[in-house]
Amino acid sequence: MDDKIFKYYQDRLWLLTSESSTDDVIREYAEWAENYDKSMQEPNYNTPRPFAKLFDATVSKLFPEIQKKNFKVLDVAAGTGLLGLELNKLGYENIDALDMSQEMLSQARTKNVYKKLVCAAMTDQQITDIDRGEYDALTCSSAVCTSHVRPSAVEEMIKIVKPGGVVCFNISFVEVNSYEDKLKELEDTGEWRLALKEKIPFVRDKLTEESILYIYEREGKATDLQAASFLESTLTCDLAIFLRSYYFYLAN
Ligand SMILES: C[S@@+](CC[C@H](N)C(=O)[O-])C[C@H]1O[C@@H](n2cnc3c(N)ncnc32)[C@H](O)[C@@H]1O
């Protein structure tokens, strides 16, 4: 990481805290968006590739029948689309992006891997343009931290995926403590169950931080999810959408 960018990253981004407002965060990324990919090039930022590989391995194990190209993923805090790009290389073609920075989303658009781009914040509130239970999976790389996607947003993240769907995110070692109680509470109350927990890199080079990747399965029957995915690949779009909604209705 060159010194100017490293300084930016450490002096400004890391000064954001749980007290920072949404506008504070948006302002930082508006300035960073154009240089984000350059400053995060490997080996400096080594998260999206192992993240995508472990996501793919787990999805393939949990849902051996599904067609990856139809598997509907919402990439939360997608930024410039580095994770979307890695997922796309592995065969995922039905990915939408959500981010609260329009500037970061504009960069993501140029990657041509997202179908829909939604500019909104992931909080504890339902997002207007996203239906609950709409997605087979939700991903969030390097944004689950107390200044970005806060512990209070985790429950809404679960609601975005359908029963049996997966929620996949990483948390830096220095932030894990702030989330542990929430993650455990949601397991104890039967909202989700842990499918994978594994150490992956976060930011390398001068910042030798690590993170933990978590993959949770939302409680509920996954059969509807696999069936809907199969139908989507064989039936016309409108009929598949109707049947998908019907399966979701039955599962709930
Ligand atoms: C460090 S970047 C990570 C981007 C991308 N996931 C990656 O791995 O390169 C963090 C991104 O999260 C977005 N962000 C932060 N808090 C957010 C929130 N609560 N809801 C939606 N986006 C958020 C920022 O705008 C920024 O684009």
The residue whose CA is least distant from atom 10 of ligand 1 is 143
Residue listed under structure tokens 């995915």: 229
Ligand 1 pocket member 243 (CB < 6 A): no
pLDDT by position in tens, the chain (length 252): 455 555 555 566 777 889 999 999 999 899 888 888 887 775 567 899 999 999 999 999 999 999 999 999 999 999 999 999 999 999 999 999 999 999 999 999 999 999 999 999 999 999 999 999 999 999 999 999 999 999 999 999 999 999 999 999 999 988 999 999 999 999 999 999 999 999 998 875 555 578 999 999 999 876 556 445 545 444 545 655 565 666 556 654
Pairing of strands 135-140, 192-203: unpaired
Burial of 206 (0-12, 13-18, 19+ CB in 10 A): exposed
223 CA distance to ligand 1 middle (Å): 32
Ligand 1 pocket member 147 (CB < 6 A): no
Instruction: For residue range 145-182, list pLDDT tens digits in order.
Output: 999 999 999 999 999 999 999 999 999 988 999 999 99
Which residue type occupies 198? E
- Residue 192 · residue 166 · CB < 8 Å: no
Burial of 101 (0-12, 13-18, 19+ CB in 10 A): buried
**Cα–Cα distance for residue pair 187/179, rounded to 1 Å:** 13
Using the atom order of ligand 1, give the atom closest to the CA of residue 78: 6
Give the Å distances, CA to CA, from 156 to 34, 151, 162, 229, 252.
30, 10, 12, 23, 17
Ligand 1 pocket member 77 (CB < 6 A): yes
Ligand 1 pocket member 49 (CB < 6 A): no
Ligand 1 pocket member 83 (CB < 6 A): yes
Ligand 1 pocket member 143 (CB < 6 A): yes
